[in-house]
Amino acid sequence: MKILVIHGPNLNLLGTREPDVYGRATLEDINRRVIALAQELGMEAEAFQSNSEGEIVDAVQGKSYDALIINPAAYTHTSVAIRDAIAAVGRPAIEVHISNIHKREEFRRTSYISGVVTGQISGLGVEGYLLAVRASRQILDR
């Protein structure tokens, strides 16, 4: 069982990017914890970050995985292309946001992604990724 974790634009700056909103954990910290938990649960995890929409579409389509965890970051609110790629591959997918997108600016309340994923976790910080790993295991066991 393999999980692919995709991080969208600007998430490479976690740790220093608006720490009051996104916390102090770096992307490396998150990936380390995700990979360790996946292993603990008997799965493998690969993490991928890109600032480019096309590269994210290519990863959704082309990488090998059983379940997807994706924080599309700003593309959440704009990308029909990422939505269509997730729908096209038809594998279980969980959308994660570090901040609560429903509690911020109006434009962040719309997710182009939420209509094609299994579920969405928003506002629980780094813990959201770890909950998504646990949920992936349960979904793949069904």
Backbone angles phi, psi at 99, to 5 degrees: -90, 165
Using rule CB under 6 A, residue 120 touches ligand DQA: no
Catalytic (active site) residue 65: no
Using rule CB under 6 A, residue 31 touches ligand DQA: no
Using rule CB under 6 A, residue 49 touches ligand DQA: no
**Residue 67 or 113: which CB sits closer to ligand DQA?**
113
For 47, 54, 56, 69, 139, the CA distances from 50, given in Å and listed in that order, are: 10, 9, 6, 14, 26
Using rule CB under 6 A, residue 101 touches ligand DQA: yes
For 69, 133, 136, 138, the CA distances from 74, given in Å and listed in that order, are: 16, 22, 23, 28
Out of 7, 65, 75, 97, the active site residue is 97
**Residue 10 or 114: which CB sits closer to ligand DQA?**
10
Catalytic (active site) residue 102: no
User: Given its phi and psi angles, is residue 18 left (phi above 0), alpha (psi -120 to 50 degrees) or beta?
Assistant: left
Binding site residues, ligand DQA, CB under 6 A: 10, 71, 73-74, 76, 97-99, 101, 108
